[in-house]
Amino acid sequence: MQPVSRRQALLLGGLGIAATAAGSAGLIWTLTSREPFVTGSELTQPPEERSTNGQLQVRLEAAPGQIRLAGRPAAALCYNGSSPGPTLRIRAGDVLKIMLVNNLAQATNLHVHGLHVSPEGNGDNVFIAVEPGGTFDYEYKLPRDHPPGVYWYHPHHHGMVADQVFAGLFGAIIVEDPEPIEASVERVLVISDTTLDTLGNIPAVPVMERMMGREGELILVNGQSNPQFTARPGQRERWRIVNTCVARYLRLRLDGQQMQLLGMDSGRFPAPETVEELLLTPGNRAELLVTASTGDAVLRAFYQNRGSMPGMMGPGFGARSPADQPDGAALATLRVSGEPVASPASVPAQQALGDLRSAAVAARRQIVLAVGMGMGGGAGMMRFTINGKEFNEARTDTTVAAGNVEEWTLTNTSPMDHPFHLHVWPMQIIEENGQATKTAIWQDVVNVRANGRVKVRVDFRDFRGRSVYHCHILDHEDVGMMSAIEVR
């Protein structure tokens, strides 16, 4: 990353508030390069930090900088000079300590998405604000039975989340398996989207796109456009995929290759399930095993209809998106050739999170996600609410007794999908649109279809404290579709 001059820093600081209100990350750069986008380069992995002796201590600096996205200079926001930021690899029972340094022109903070850790004090506390020039020491103690899998971190300062994530602030977290799964190689695939103008700046996002949930013109994997990598026939690769997009749904296919799904979010299946297609809503993650067959295969994202509001979008909205094309958007290319290799060992049985379908339910709640016309929502056009209210940090909307199992009916009264995310405590899906689930499905982001309904159960175990639940279309969260919950 190239350093920011004092003049540039002052310019960024002066534009920060106004630009954020307009929908951008407040990034203005004097870039003279008009280099074309680069596709097909060798896939790179984000830098890694690994725990040792039960602890990982890292310094994470959030700052503007000039990096390369899709092979071209771009003015972005970075963690430690890169986007994605470093991958943090830890184990159940570890202590993760992060010193967050804020060298942005606006306030920020940190959320460790999906980790089952305390929301109190300097834990996964999204009510903390780290002001420009400030630092904050986070500390997360993982339970010894914490589920393995892929998680991620990103800012969560209300009102600025979408802008800061869209501009590049995100990174993966890996909780290692207690018993290794044999694979020839492991790949972390952090999928993001953004938009760059001809000078490499991230332009302001129109209000109407914020209402729908912005989708960038570029879809990137580890900051690259359709990177390539190779394998030999018979090799089994492990792909850890994170959807960090602000609003984009990823309907993924890898035709010609065998894909086995280990699980979604923090949930694992007892044995891998063969899939041909996989839908990741914003915030979802997937653990895939890919067994290579000779030939080229492209990981593609296809269009997913997530609905709209009547009259919200003008003609052609979304037509710029590569995923709207009939053959989808090419995310990455796997090239398989050479001599076949021996079949890998079978996958050891995976530990599931349990099954709450027969659990005693202490309380049942209705959570209604709604969109309506009005002057609320912070954007002057539409109101995005949960149970009729926009987010107010000073108000606690839901109070839960620690240790109880509750059943929540998530009802979406709007004609657009909303991916529902509960911090700290994972959710087991019990029923979707009146259809009961046949197996235990655990996720921390659950899609509630337009005019649809999903029942989930939550075991509020291990931790007390105050946290939030919200729509993970981050523009919707920022304009009010979030509520505070306290477990005591």
Task: Provide the pLDDT confidence category of residue 309 given band limits of 50, 70 and 90.
Answer: confident
First to last CA, the chain: 44
Task: Provide the pLDDT confidence category of residue 375 given band limits of 50, 70 and 90.
Answer: low
Lowest mean pLDDT among 10-19, 189-198, 221-230, 379-388: 10-19
Share of the chain above pLDDT 70, in %: 89
Q: Indicate if the pLDDT at residue 240 is higher than 70.
A: yes
| Across 123-132, average pLDDT | 98
Task: Provide the pLDDT confidence category of residue 321 given band limits of 50, 70 and 90.
Answer: low
| Across 31-51, average pLDDT | 87
The CATH number that domain 6-175 falls under is: 2.60.40.420
Please state which architecture CATH assigns to domain 363-487.
Sandwich (2.60)
For the chain, the domains span 6-175, 185-336, 363-487
| Across 272-292, average pLDDT | 97
Residues ≥6 apart with Cβ < 8 Å to 241: 150, 189, 191, 252, 280, 285, 286, 287, 288
- Quick one: pLDDT at residue 316? 34
| Across 209-217, average pLDDT | 95
- Quick one: pLDDT at residue 4? 40
Task: Provide the pLDDT confidence category of residue 36 given band limits of 50, 70 and 90.
Answer: confident
Lowest mean pLDDT among 1-15, 132-146, 328-342, 455-469: 1-15
Share of the chain above pLDDT 90, in %: 85
Q: Indicate if the pLDDT at residue 9 is higher than 50.
A: no
Full-model pTM: 0.92
Please indicate whether the domains covering 6-175 and 363-487 agree at the CATH topology level.
yes
- Quick one: pLDDT at residue 318? 41
Q: Indicate if the pLDDT at residue 378 is higher than 70.
A: no
- Quick one: pLDDT at residue 377? 42
- Quick one: pLDDT at residue 308? 85
| pLDDT one-digit tens code per residue, 381-438 | 789 999 999 999 999 999 999 999 999 999 999 999 999 999 999 999 999 999 999 9
The four Cα atoms 176, 85, 483, 403 give a dihedral, to 10 degrees, of: 20
- Quick one: pLDDT at residue 242? 98
- Quick one: pLDDT at residue 317? 40
Q: Which of 121, 150, 148, 147 shows the shortest CA–CA distance to 136?
A: 121
Q: Hey, which CATH number is domain 185-336, 3.40.50.300, 3.40.190.10, 2.60.40.420, 3.40.50.10240?
A: 2.60.40.420
- Quick one: pLDDT at residue 373? 79
Question: For the chain, what is the mean pLDDT?
Answer: 90
- Quick one: pLDDT at residue 327? 82
| Across 214-239, average pLDDT | 97
Long-range contacts of 345-350 (CB under 8 A, 24+ apart): 345/182, 347/181, 347/182, 347/260, 347/262, 347/271, 347/272, 347/289, 348/179, 348/181, 349/270, 349/271, 350/262, 350/263, 350/268, 350/269, 350/270, 350/271
Q: Indicate if the pLDDT at residue 154 is higher than 90.
A: yes
Task: Provide the pLDDT confidence category of residue 33 given band limits of 50, 70 and 90.
Answer: low
Q: Which of 293, 301, 288, 289 shows the shortest CA–CA distance to 332?
A: 301
